[in-house]
Chains A and B, each alone.
Chain A
Amino acid sequence: MKILTCPMNGPRNIDEFQSFGPVRAEPDPDRTADADWSRHLFRAENRKGIVVEWWRHVPSNYFFLAERDLVTNEVLRTFDASERWAHP
Protein backbone atom coordinates (compact mmCIF):
# COMPACT_ATOMS: atom_id res chain seq x y z
CA MET A 1 0.00 0.00 0.00
CA LYS A 2 2.02 2.95 -1.27
CA ILE A 3 -0.65 4.78 -3.23
CA LEU A 4 -4.35 5.11 -2.45
CA THR A 5 -6.79 6.33 -5.08
CA CYS A 6 -8.94 9.05 -3.56
CA PRO A 7 -12.35 9.28 -5.27
CA MET A 8 -12.01 13.07 -5.34
CA ASN A 9 -8.26 13.70 -5.76
CA GLY A 10 -7.14 10.65 -7.70
CA PRO A 11 -4.09 8.51 -6.86
CA ARG A 12 -2.08 10.03 -4.00
CA ASN A 13 0.76 8.95 -1.71
CA ILE A 14 -0.52 6.83 1.20
CA ASP A 15 1.17 9.38 3.51
CA GLU A 16 -1.68 11.79 2.78
CA PHE A 17 -4.35 9.50 4.17
CA GLN A 18 -5.62 8.57 7.58
CA SER A 19 -7.65 5.49 8.45
CA PHE A 20 -10.79 5.76 10.57
CA GLY A 21 -11.50 2.06 10.85
CA PRO A 22 -14.23 -0.25 9.57
CA VAL A 23 -17.70 1.13 8.88
CA ARG A 24 -20.10 0.25 11.67
CA ALA A 25 -23.81 0.85 11.89
CA GLU A 26 -24.51 3.26 14.73
CA PRO A 27 -27.60 2.49 16.81
CA ASP A 28 -29.86 5.38 17.72
CA PRO A 29 -28.48 6.51 21.11
CA ASP A 30 -31.93 7.63 22.28
CA ARG A 31 -33.64 4.31 21.59
CA THR A 32 -30.99 1.65 22.09
CA ALA A 33 -30.49 -0.29 25.34
CA ASP A 34 -27.38 0.52 27.42
CA ALA A 35 -25.87 -2.90 26.76
CA ASP A 36 -26.19 -2.48 22.99
CA TRP A 37 -24.77 1.02 23.14
CA SER A 38 -21.70 -0.09 25.09
CA ARG A 39 -21.31 -2.97 22.66
CA HIS A 40 -21.30 -0.42 19.86
CA LEU A 41 -18.64 1.66 21.63
CA PHE A 42 -16.34 -1.08 22.88
CA ARG A 43 -16.73 -4.16 20.71
CA ALA A 44 -15.33 -4.73 17.24
CA GLU A 45 -15.94 -7.45 14.68
CA ASN A 46 -12.28 -7.31 13.69
CA ARG A 47 -12.78 -9.48 10.60
CA LYS A 48 -9.81 -11.16 8.98
CA GLY A 49 -10.62 -10.55 5.33
CA ILE A 50 -12.20 -7.84 3.19
CA VAL A 51 -13.73 -4.90 5.06
CA VAL A 52 -15.21 -1.52 4.14
CA GLU A 53 -13.41 1.28 5.97
CA TRP A 54 -13.52 5.02 6.43
CA TRP A 55 -10.47 6.88 5.15
CA ARG A 56 -9.72 10.58 5.06
CA HIS A 57 -7.63 12.44 2.52
CA VAL A 58 -6.03 14.75 5.07
CA PRO A 59 -5.04 17.78 2.94
CA SER A 60 -8.58 18.12 1.52
CA ASN A 61 -10.33 16.77 4.66
CA TYR A 62 -12.43 14.51 2.45
CA PHE A 63 -13.85 11.33 3.98
CA PHE A 64 -14.53 8.37 1.70
CA LEU A 65 -14.86 4.57 1.80
CA ALA A 66 -12.41 1.89 0.76
CA GLU A 67 -12.77 -1.85 0.39
CA ARG A 68 -9.55 -3.44 1.59
CA ASP A 69 -8.25 -6.94 2.25
CA LEU A 70 -6.74 -6.86 5.76
CA VAL A 71 -4.55 -9.89 5.07
CA THR A 72 -2.89 -8.73 1.85
CA ASN A 73 -3.43 -4.95 2.26
CA GLU A 74 -4.84 -4.88 -1.28
CA VAL A 75 -7.32 -2.04 -1.84
CA LEU A 76 -10.12 -3.42 -4.02
CA ARG A 77 -11.87 -0.09 -4.61
CA THR A 78 -12.47 3.35 -3.15
CA PHE A 79 -15.72 5.26 -3.46
CA ASP A 80 -17.69 8.23 -2.19
CA ALA A 81 -19.93 7.62 0.82
CA SER A 82 -22.98 8.69 -1.24
CA GLU A 83 -22.71 5.37 -3.08
CA ARG A 84 -23.58 3.63 0.16
CA TRP A 85 -25.91 6.15 1.71
CA ALA A 86 -27.96 8.52 -0.43
CA HIS A 87 -27.70 12.14 0.69
CA PRO A 88 -30.81 13.25 2.62
Chain B
Amino acid sequence: MMAEYSALSLLANALKGNKDWKPAWRKPDPKASYDVIIIGGGGHGLSTAYYLAKEHGITNVAVLEKGWLGSGNVGRNTTAVRSNYLLPANTRFYEHSMKLWENLSHDLNYNVMFSQRGCLNLAHTPAQFDDYARRGNAMRHLGVDAELMTTAQIKRLIPALDVSDSARFPVVGGLMQRRAGTARHDAVAWGYARGADRRGVDIIENCEVTGFLRDGDRITGVTTSRGDIRAKKVAVSVAGSTGRVMRLAGIETMPIESHVLQAFVTESLKPFIDTVVTFGMGHFYLSQSDKGGLVYGGDIDGYNSYAQRGNLPVVDEVMSEMLALFPGLARVRMLRSWGGVCDMSMDGSPIITTGPLPGMYLNCGWCYGGFKATPASGWCFAWTIAKDEPHDLNASFTLDRFHRGLVIDDKGQGATPRLH
Protein backbone atom coordinates (compact mmCIF):
# COMPACT_ATOMS: atom_id res chain seq x y z
CA MET B 1 0.00 0.00 0.00
CA MET B 2 1.42 3.39 -0.97
CA ALA B 3 1.78 5.67 2.01
CA GLU B 4 -0.94 8.31 2.00
CA TYR B 5 1.61 11.02 2.68
CA SER B 6 4.86 10.79 0.66
CA ALA B 7 7.06 12.91 -1.58
CA LEU B 8 5.20 11.37 -4.53
CA SER B 9 1.71 12.14 -3.16
CA LEU B 10 2.85 15.65 -2.29
CA LEU B 11 4.03 16.20 -5.87
CA ALA B 12 0.95 14.63 -7.43
CA ASN B 13 -1.38 16.75 -5.31
CA ALA B 14 0.63 19.89 -5.96
CA LEU B 15 0.27 19.35 -9.72
CA LYS B 16 -3.49 18.88 -9.30
CA GLY B 17 -3.88 22.06 -7.25
CA ASN B 18 -4.15 20.31 -3.87
CA LYS B 19 -7.82 19.53 -4.45
CA ASP B 20 -7.70 15.77 -3.88
CA TRP B 21 -6.42 15.53 -0.29
CA LYS B 22 -8.77 13.48 1.84
CA PRO B 23 -9.65 14.88 5.28
CA ALA B 24 -7.36 13.33 7.90
CA TRP B 25 -10.39 11.85 9.63
CA ARG B 26 -14.08 11.47 8.77
CA LYS B 27 -16.91 13.12 10.68
CA PRO B 28 -19.21 10.13 11.19
CA ASP B 29 -22.46 10.13 13.14
CA PRO B 30 -22.36 7.76 16.10
CA LYS B 31 -23.67 4.23 15.52
CA ALA B 32 -26.07 2.62 17.99
CA SER B 33 -23.38 0.34 19.38
CA TYR B 34 -19.67 -0.45 19.28
CA ASP B 35 -17.31 -3.07 20.63
CA VAL B 36 -15.36 -0.37 22.46
CA ILE B 37 -16.14 3.25 23.31
CA ILE B 38 -13.26 5.46 24.35
CA ILE B 39 -14.36 8.59 26.22
CA GLY B 40 -11.92 11.40 25.49
CA GLY B 41 -10.37 12.35 22.13
CA GLY B 42 -7.09 13.59 23.52
CA GLY B 43 -3.68 12.13 22.78
CA HIS B 44 -4.18 9.11 25.03
CA GLY B 45 -7.69 8.29 23.79
CA LEU B 46 -6.63 8.54 20.16
CA SER B 47 -3.49 6.47 20.64
CA THR B 48 -5.57 3.87 22.50
CA ALA B 49 -7.93 3.66 19.52
CA TYR B 50 -4.98 3.43 17.12
CA TYR B 51 -3.29 0.56 18.98
CA LEU B 52 -6.62 -1.25 19.55
CA ALA B 53 -7.03 -1.33 15.78
CA LYS B 54 -3.40 -1.91 14.84
CA GLU B 55 -2.20 -4.33 17.52
CA HIS B 56 -5.41 -6.14 18.44
CA GLY B 57 -7.55 -5.91 15.31
CA ILE B 58 -10.42 -4.26 17.22
CA THR B 59 -11.79 -1.65 14.82
CA ASN B 60 -15.46 -1.34 15.80
CA VAL B 61 -14.45 1.50 18.09
CA ALA B 62 -15.72 5.03 18.76
CA VAL B 63 -13.71 7.85 20.31
CA LEU B 64 -16.08 10.40 21.89
CA GLU B 65 -14.74 13.92 22.29
CA LYS B 66 -16.84 16.63 23.91
CA GLY B 67 -15.02 19.48 22.11
CA TRP B 68 -12.92 19.35 18.98
CA LEU B 69 -10.07 16.96 18.54
CA GLY B 70 -6.90 18.08 20.28
CA SER B 71 -8.59 20.90 22.23
CA GLY B 72 -7.49 19.65 25.64
CA ASN B 73 -4.14 18.93 27.19
CA VAL B 74 -2.60 17.31 24.10
CA GLY B 75 -2.50 20.82 22.64
CA ARG B 76 -1.58 22.59 25.88
CA ASN B 77 1.64 20.90 27.00
CA THR B 78 5.26 21.95 26.53
CA THR B 79 5.99 18.95 24.24
CA ALA B 80 8.92 17.44 26.15
CA VAL B 81 9.54 13.70 25.82
CA ARG B 82 11.87 11.89 28.23
CA SER B 83 12.24 8.67 30.23
CA ASN B 84 14.54 9.81 33.05
CA TYR B 85 12.72 8.36 36.05
CA LEU B 86 14.07 6.77 39.22
CA LEU B 87 11.62 3.96 40.03
CA PRO B 88 11.62 0.84 37.83
CA ALA B 89 7.85 0.82 37.13
CA ASN B 90 8.04 4.35 35.74
CA THR B 91 11.38 3.90 33.96
CA ARG B 92 10.25 0.77 32.09
CA PHE B 93 6.94 2.32 31.09
CA TYR B 94 8.39 5.63 29.87
CA GLU B 95 11.26 3.88 28.10
CA HIS B 96 8.69 1.80 26.20
CA SER B 97 7.07 5.10 25.29
CA MET B 98 10.43 6.49 24.15
CA LYS B 99 10.95 3.51 21.85
CA LEU B 100 7.50 4.03 20.33
CA TRP B 101 8.33 7.73 19.88
CA GLU B 102 11.53 6.85 18.04
CA ASN B 103 9.55 5.13 15.30
CA LEU B 104 6.30 7.09 15.55
CA SER B 105 6.51 9.28 12.43
CA HIS B 106 7.28 6.20 10.34
CA ASP B 107 4.61 4.08 12.05
CA LEU B 108 1.90 6.72 11.59
CA ASN B 109 3.13 7.93 8.19
CA TYR B 110 2.74 11.35 9.78
CA ASN B 111 5.61 13.64 10.69
CA VAL B 112 5.32 14.25 14.43
CA MET B 113 8.62 16.16 14.30
CA PHE B 114 10.15 14.08 17.08
CA SER B 115 13.50 15.69 17.77
CA GLN B 116 15.90 13.88 20.11
CA ARG B 117 17.71 16.99 21.20
CA GLY B 118 18.32 15.81 24.75
CA CYS B 119 16.99 16.82 28.14
CA LEU B 120 19.37 18.23 30.74
CA ASN B 121 18.47 18.44 34.44
CA LEU B 122 20.66 21.04 36.13
CA ALA B 123 22.12 20.37 39.58
CA HIS B 124 22.85 23.30 41.86
CA THR B 125 24.28 21.57 44.92
CA PRO B 126 26.72 18.67 45.35
CA ALA B 127 23.96 16.69 47.09
CA GLN B 128 21.64 17.19 44.14
CA PHE B 129 24.42 16.13 41.77
CA ASP B 130 24.84 12.93 43.83
CA ASP B 131 21.10 12.36 43.63
CA TYR B 132 21.24 12.75 39.84
CA ALA B 133 24.11 10.22 39.73
CA ARG B 134 21.88 7.80 41.59
CA ARG B 135 18.97 8.37 39.20
CA GLY B 136 21.28 8.16 36.18
CA ASN B 137 22.65 4.85 37.43
CA ALA B 138 19.12 3.54 38.06
CA MET B 139 18.23 4.48 34.46
CA ARG B 140 21.35 2.86 32.97
CA HIS B 141 20.71 -0.24 35.04
CA LEU B 142 17.43 -0.62 33.10
CA GLY B 143 19.05 0.10 29.75
CA VAL B 144 18.09 3.78 29.47
CA ASP B 145 20.74 6.28 28.39
CA ALA B 146 21.94 8.80 30.96
CA GLU B 147 25.14 10.75 31.44
CA LEU B 148 26.42 13.18 34.01
CA MET B 149 27.75 16.45 32.65
CA THR B 150 30.25 18.83 34.21
CA THR B 151 29.69 22.57 34.34
CA ALA B 152 32.32 23.08 31.61
CA GLN B 153 30.50 20.63 29.29
CA ILE B 154 27.19 22.34 30.04
CA LYS B 155 28.66 25.74 29.22
CA ARG B 156 29.75 24.45 25.80
CA LEU B 157 26.31 22.91 25.19
CA ILE B 158 24.27 25.96 26.29
CA PRO B 159 26.34 29.13 25.92
CA ALA B 160 23.46 31.37 27.05
CA LEU B 161 23.14 29.63 30.42
CA ASP B 162 24.61 31.50 33.39
CA VAL B 163 27.03 28.98 34.87
CA SER B 164 29.12 31.59 36.69
CA ASP B 165 29.81 31.51 40.43
CA SER B 166 27.78 34.70 40.76
CA ALA B 167 24.59 33.08 39.44
CA ARG B 168 21.70 33.07 41.94
CA PHE B 169 22.03 29.27 42.11
CA PRO B 170 25.39 28.29 40.58
CA VAL B 171 25.32 25.20 38.38
CA VAL B 172 27.50 22.34 39.64
CA GLY B 173 26.63 19.82 36.94
CA GLY B 174 23.73 18.05 35.32
CA LEU B 175 22.10 14.82 34.23
CA MET B 176 21.59 14.49 30.49
CA GLN B 177 19.37 12.07 28.61
CA ARG B 178 20.44 12.45 24.97
CA ARG B 179 17.55 10.45 23.54
CA ALA B 180 14.99 12.76 25.18
CA GLY B 181 13.60 15.68 23.21
CA THR B 182 10.43 17.27 21.91
CA ALA B 183 7.64 16.48 19.45
CA ARG B 184 4.98 18.51 17.68
CA HIS B 185 1.99 17.92 19.94
CA ASP B 186 -0.82 18.71 17.48
CA ALA B 187 0.72 16.40 14.90
CA VAL B 188 0.67 13.61 17.48
CA ALA B 189 -3.09 14.03 17.94
CA TRP B 190 -3.73 14.35 14.20
CA GLY B 191 -1.44 11.47 13.28
CA TYR B 192 -3.06 9.07 15.74
CA ALA B 193 -6.51 10.29 14.69
CA ARG B 194 -5.84 9.62 11.02
CA GLY B 195 -4.20 6.26 11.75
CA ALA B 196 -7.22 5.16 13.80
CA ASP B 197 -9.73 6.58 11.30
CA ARG B 198 -8.16 4.78 8.34
CA ARG B 199 -8.44 1.50 10.25
CA GLY B 200 -12.16 2.04 10.78
CA VAL B 201 -12.39 3.84 14.14
CA ASP B 202 -15.16 6.46 14.36
CA ILE B 203 -13.88 9.71 15.85
CA ILE B 204 -16.92 11.64 17.02
CA GLU B 205 -16.32 15.25 17.98
CA ASN B 206 -18.71 17.57 19.84
CA CYS B 207 -20.16 14.55 21.60
CA GLU B 208 -20.22 15.00 25.37
CA VAL B 209 -20.80 12.00 27.62
CA THR B 210 -23.57 12.87 30.08
CA GLY B 211 -23.98 9.53 31.85
CA PHE B 212 -23.47 5.78 31.76
CA LEU B 213 -25.87 3.04 30.70
CA ARG B 214 -25.87 0.18 33.18
CA ASP B 215 -27.11 -3.30 33.66
CA GLY B 216 -26.79 -3.71 37.42
CA ASP B 217 -23.16 -2.92 38.19
CA ARG B 218 -22.04 -3.48 34.62
CA ILE B 219 -21.43 -0.53 32.32
CA THR B 220 -23.13 -1.18 28.98
CA GLY B 221 -22.75 2.15 27.20
CA VAL B 222 -23.02 5.90 27.57
CA THR B 223 -25.61 8.62 27.21
CA THR B 224 -24.28 11.55 25.21
CA SER B 225 -25.29 14.90 23.79
CA ARG B 226 -25.77 12.96 20.51
CA GLY B 227 -27.86 10.12 21.89
CA ASP B 228 -27.30 6.81 23.67
CA ILE B 229 -24.48 4.58 22.48
CA ARG B 230 -24.05 1.00 23.67
CA ALA B 231 -20.74 -0.82 23.93
CA LYS B 232 -19.30 -4.05 25.27
CA LYS B 233 -16.44 -2.09 26.78
CA VAL B 234 -16.28 1.55 27.85
CA ALA B 235 -12.83 3.08 28.34
CA VAL B 236 -12.41 6.36 30.23
CA SER B 237 -9.43 8.47 29.14
CA VAL B 238 -10.30 11.98 30.27
CA ALA B 239 -7.38 13.23 32.38
CA GLY B 240 -8.34 16.65 33.71
CA SER B 241 -12.01 15.64 34.03
CA THR B 242 -11.59 12.19 35.59
CA GLY B 243 -13.40 12.99 38.84
CA ARG B 244 -16.35 14.49 37.01
CA VAL B 245 -16.77 11.62 34.54
CA MET B 246 -16.31 8.93 37.21
CA ARG B 247 -18.95 10.66 39.34
CA LEU B 248 -21.38 10.08 36.45
CA ALA B 249 -20.75 6.38 37.05
CA GLY B 250 -21.46 6.76 40.77
CA ILE B 251 -17.81 6.75 41.88
CA GLU B 252 -17.62 9.67 44.26
CA THR B 253 -13.92 9.74 45.14
CA MET B 254 -10.70 9.15 43.20
CA PRO B 255 -7.01 9.32 44.22
CA ILE B 256 -6.81 12.49 42.14
CA GLU B 257 -7.11 16.26 42.53
CA SER B 258 -7.46 18.73 39.66
CA HIS B 259 -4.84 21.46 39.41
CA VAL B 260 -3.94 23.94 36.70
CA LEU B 261 -0.53 24.03 35.02
CA GLN B 262 0.53 27.04 32.98
CA ALA B 263 2.81 27.21 29.96
CA PHE B 264 4.35 30.11 28.07
CA VAL B 265 5.88 30.92 24.70
CA THR B 266 7.98 33.90 23.67
CA GLU B 267 8.28 35.67 20.34
CA SER B 268 10.44 33.81 17.82
CA LEU B 269 14.18 34.02 18.26
CA LYS B 270 17.09 32.84 16.17
CA PRO B 271 18.47 29.43 17.23
CA PHE B 272 19.21 29.90 20.90
CA ILE B 273 19.14 26.53 22.62
CA ASP B 274 19.13 23.07 21.04
CA THR B 275 18.19 20.98 24.06
CA VAL B 276 15.53 20.83 26.77
CA VAL B 277 16.84 22.22 30.06
CA THR B 278 15.34 22.02 33.54
CA PHE B 279 16.16 24.09 36.61
CA GLY B 280 17.04 22.20 39.80
CA MET B 281 16.32 24.85 42.43
CA GLY B 282 12.70 25.35 41.54
CA HIS B 283 10.38 24.04 38.92
CA PHE B 284 11.23 25.35 35.47
CA TYR B 285 11.87 23.85 32.03
CA LEU B 286 12.59 25.42 28.67
CA SER B 287 13.11 24.42 25.06
CA GLN B 288 12.96 26.19 21.71
CA SER B 289 10.32 25.27 19.17
CA ASP B 290 11.14 24.82 15.49
CA LYS B 291 9.33 28.11 14.87
CA GLY B 292 11.82 29.81 17.19
CA GLY B 293 9.69 30.58 20.24
CA LEU B 294 10.97 29.59 23.64
CA VAL B 295 8.45 27.19 25.19
CA TYR B 296 8.62 27.02 28.96
CA GLY B 297 6.73 26.41 32.14
CA GLY B 298 7.02 25.83 35.85
CA ASP B 299 5.02 24.49 38.73
CA ILE B 300 1.27 24.05 39.09
CA ASP B 301 -0.64 26.93 40.64
CA GLY B 302 -0.66 25.58 44.18
CA TYR B 303 -4.37 25.19 44.80
CA ASN B 304 -7.12 22.98 43.38
CA SER B 305 -8.55 24.41 40.18
CA TYR B 306 -10.74 23.55 37.23
CA ALA B 307 -10.00 26.89 35.52
CA GLN B 308 -8.07 26.51 32.27
CA ARG B 309 -6.06 29.61 33.07
CA GLY B 310 -3.46 30.39 35.69
CA ASN B 311 -2.57 32.90 38.38
CA LEU B 312 -0.04 35.71 38.49
CA PRO B 313 2.29 34.51 41.30
CA VAL B 314 3.26 31.49 39.21
CA VAL B 315 3.85 33.69 36.15
CA ASP B 316 6.13 35.83 38.31
CA GLU B 317 7.95 32.79 39.68
CA VAL B 318 8.45 31.18 36.27
CA MET B 319 9.87 34.40 34.81
CA SER B 320 12.22 34.78 37.81
CA GLU B 321 13.47 31.24 37.34
CA MET B 322 14.01 31.79 33.64
CA LEU B 323 16.09 34.89 34.33
CA ALA B 324 18.08 33.13 37.06
CA LEU B 325 19.24 30.70 34.34
CA PHE B 326 19.25 32.96 31.28
CA PRO B 327 19.81 36.61 32.28
CA GLY B 328 20.07 37.45 28.57
CA LEU B 329 16.36 36.78 28.07
CA ALA B 330 15.30 39.72 30.26
CA ARG B 331 14.04 41.77 27.32
CA VAL B 332 12.47 38.96 25.29
CA ARG B 333 8.73 39.42 24.98
CA MET B 334 6.28 36.75 26.04
CA LEU B 335 3.82 35.99 23.29
CA ARG B 336 1.20 33.80 24.94
CA SER B 337 0.43 31.96 28.14
CA TRP B 338 -2.23 29.36 28.81
CA GLY B 339 -3.29 26.76 31.33
CA GLY B 340 -4.47 23.17 31.35
CA VAL B 341 -6.22 21.17 34.05
CA CYS B 342 -4.15 18.22 35.24
CA ASP B 343 -5.09 15.02 37.07
CA MET B 344 -2.68 15.24 40.01
CA SER B 345 -2.57 11.76 41.51
CA MET B 346 -1.74 10.90 45.12
CA ASP B 347 1.69 9.44 44.29
CA GLY B 348 2.55 11.30 41.08
CA SER B 349 2.12 8.17 38.94
CA PRO B 350 -0.70 7.28 36.53
CA ILE B 351 -3.50 4.71 36.57
CA ILE B 352 -4.11 2.34 33.63
CA THR B 353 -6.38 -0.45 34.71
CA THR B 354 -9.46 -2.59 34.20
CA GLY B 355 -12.51 -1.51 36.19
CA PRO B 356 -13.33 -0.15 38.65
CA LEU B 357 -16.78 -1.32 37.44
CA PRO B 358 -17.44 -4.33 35.20
CA GLY B 359 -17.31 -3.27 31.55
CA MET B 360 -15.24 -0.20 32.38
CA TYR B 361 -11.54 0.59 31.84
CA LEU B 362 -9.72 3.54 33.32
CA ASN B 363 -6.75 5.64 32.20
CA CYS B 364 -6.01 8.74 34.31
CA GLY B 365 -3.74 10.47 36.85
CA TRP B 366 -1.06 11.73 34.45
CA CYS B 367 -0.16 14.73 36.60
CA TYR B 368 1.59 17.15 34.23
CA GLY B 369 3.66 14.49 32.45
CA GLY B 370 1.11 12.89 30.18
CA PHE B 371 2.35 14.05 26.79
CA LYS B 372 5.52 11.96 26.70
CA ALA B 373 3.46 8.96 27.79
CA THR B 374 1.00 9.28 24.88
CA PRO B 375 2.27 6.29 22.81
CA ALA B 376 2.85 3.88 25.72
CA SER B 377 -0.32 4.93 27.51
CA GLY B 378 -2.42 4.11 24.45
CA TRP B 379 -0.41 0.95 23.77
CA CYS B 380 -0.85 -0.37 27.33
CA PHE B 381 -4.47 0.77 27.63
CA ALA B 382 -5.34 -0.93 24.33
CA TRP B 383 -3.72 -4.14 25.62
CA THR B 384 -5.67 -3.87 28.91
CA ILE B 385 -8.97 -3.32 27.08
CA ALA B 386 -8.37 -6.07 24.52
CA LYS B 387 -7.19 -8.74 26.95
CA ASP B 388 -9.06 -7.72 30.12
CA GLU B 389 -5.80 -7.68 32.05
CA PRO B 390 -2.87 -5.28 32.24
CA HIS B 391 0.37 -5.70 30.33
CA ASP B 392 3.49 -6.11 32.52
CA LEU B 393 4.35 -2.49 31.74
CA ASN B 394 1.20 -1.10 33.38
CA ALA B 395 0.56 -3.85 35.94
CA SER B 396 1.77 -1.54 38.73
CA PHE B 397 -0.47 1.37 37.68
CA THR B 398 -3.53 0.06 39.50
CA LEU B 399 -6.29 2.00 41.22
CA ASP B 400 -6.04 0.01 44.46
CA ARG B 401 -2.26 0.40 44.93
CA PHE B 402 -2.86 3.24 47.38
CA HIS B 403 -4.86 1.04 49.72
CA ARG B 404 -2.37 -1.79 49.43
CA GLY B 405 0.73 0.27 50.27
CA LEU B 406 2.16 -0.08 46.75
CA VAL B 407 2.41 3.58 45.80
CA ILE B 408 4.89 4.59 43.06
CA ASP B 409 6.13 7.89 44.43
CA ASP B 410 9.08 8.95 42.25
CA LYS B 411 9.57 12.21 44.13
CA GLY B 412 8.92 10.80 47.60
CA GLN B 413 6.39 13.52 48.43
CA GLY B 414 3.64 11.48 50.05
CA ALA B 415 -0.08 11.59 49.37
CA THR B 416 -0.28 15.32 48.61
CA PRO B 417 -1.16 15.78 44.94
CA ARG B 418 -0.07 19.40 44.64
CA LEU B 419 3.51 18.49 45.64
CA HIS B 420 4.15 15.95 42.85
| Shortest CB distance B181–A (Å) | 33
**With A14-B313, A15-B313 in contact, is A46–B403 under 8 Å at CB?**
no
Contact assessment for A38 and B403 in the assembled complex, using a CB-CB cutoff below 8 Å: yes
Of B244, B255, B307, the residue contacting A44 (CB under 8 A) is B255
A1 in contact (CB, < 8 A): yes
> Does A25 belong to the interface (CB within 8 Å)?
no
A-B pairs with beta carbons under 8 Å apart, 14 shown: A15-B313, A18-B302, A19-B302, A22-B304, A35-B403, A39-B403, A42-B346, A43-B255, A45-B253, A46-B254, A51-B304, A53-B304, A70-B305, A71-B306
**CB closest residue in chain B, given A22:** B304
* Chain A residue nearest in CB terms to B402: A42
B112 interfacial contact with A, CB 8 Å: no
Partner of A48, one of B243, B311, B346, B402: B243
Query: Which chain A residue shows the least CB distance to B308?
Result: A71
- Could you tell me which A residues sit within 8 Å of B by CB distance? 1-2, 14-15, 18-19, 21-22, 35, 38-39, 41-48, 51, 53, 70-73
In Å, the complex CA distance between A43 and B242 comes to 13
Number of A-B contacts (CB under 8 A): 71
Q: Mark B376-420, 1 if CB is under 8 A from A, else 0.
A: 000000000000000000000000001100000000000101100
Judge whether B121 is part of the interface by a CB distance below 8 angstroms.
no
Q: What A residues does B304 contact at CB under 8 A?
A: 19, 21-22, 46, 51, 53, 70
Task: Identify which of B243, B253, B256, B305 contacts A73 (C-beta below 8 A).
Answer: B305
Alpha-carbon gap, A39 to B255, bound state (A): 9
Which residues of A lie under 8 Å from residue B262 when comparing CB positions?
none
**A53→B303 contact, CB < 8 A:** yes
Is B312 a contact partner of A2 (Cβ separation < 8 A)? yes
Number of B interface residues at 8 Å Cβ cutoff, please give it: 25
User: From DSSP, what is the main secondary structure of chain B's interface residues?
Assistant: mixed
Pick from A38, A51, A71 the residue with the most CB of B within 10 Å: A38
CA distance A39 to B302 in the complex (A): 23
Q: How far is B304's CA from A53's CA once the two chains are assembled, in angstroms?
A: 9
Within the complex, which residue of A38, A41, A46, A70 is in contact with B256, where a contact is CB–CB below 8 Å?
A46
A73 CB, nearest partner CB in chain B, Å: 5
Contact partner, B417, options A44, A70, A72, Cβ 8 Å? A44
Can you name the residue of chain A whose Cβ is closest to the Cβ of B307? A73
Give the Cβ gap from B66 to chain A, nearest Cβ, in Å. 14
A44–B243 CA distance with the chains assembled, in angstroms? 9
Could you say which residues of chain B place their CB within 8 Å of the CB of A18?
302
Expressed in whole angstroms, the minimum distance between the Cβ of A15 and any Cβ of chain B is 5
State whether B253 touches A39 (Cβ < 8 A).
yes
17 extra A-B contacts, CB within 8 A, seeds A14-B311, A46-B253? A2-B312, A14-B312, A15-B316, A18-B302, A21-B418, A41-B402, A42-B255, A44-B346, A45-B243, A45-B252, A45-B253, A46-B254, A51-B304, A70-B307, A71-B307, A72-B307, A73-B307
Q: Which 7 A-B pairs have the closest CB atoms?
A: A19-B303, A43-B253, A42-B402, A46-B243, A38-B403, A70-B306, A48-B306
Q: Given A35-B403, A39-B253, A45-B252, is A70 in contact with B346 using a C-beta cutoff of 8 Å?
A: no
Q: How far is the CA of A18 from the CA of B302 in the complex (A)?
A: 7
Q: Please determine whether B311 and A44 come into contact, CB atoms closer than 8 angstroms.
A: no
Residues on B with beta carbons closer than 8 Å to the beta carbon of A53: 303-304
CB contacts under 8 Å to A, within B235-282, are 243-244, 252-258
Question: Which B residue's beta carbon lies closest to that of A73?
Answer: B307
CA distance A41 to B253 in the complex (A): 11
* CB–CB A38/B402 < 8 A: yes
Collect the chain B residues with CB atoms within 8 Å of residue A51's CB. 304
Least CB separation from B251: chain A residue: A43
Contact B346 A46 (CB under 8 A): no
How many angstroms between the C-alpha atoms of A46 and B335 in the bound complex?
A: 32
Q: In the complex, what's the smallest C-beta–C-beta distance from A16 to chain B, in angstroms?
A: 10
> Could you say which residues of chain A place their CB within 8 Å of the CB of B306?
48, 70-71
Given A38-B402, A70-B304, also A48-B258 (CB < 8 A): yes
Query: In chain A, what residue has the closest Cβ to B343?
Result: A46
Contacts of B418 in A (CB 8 A): 19, 21
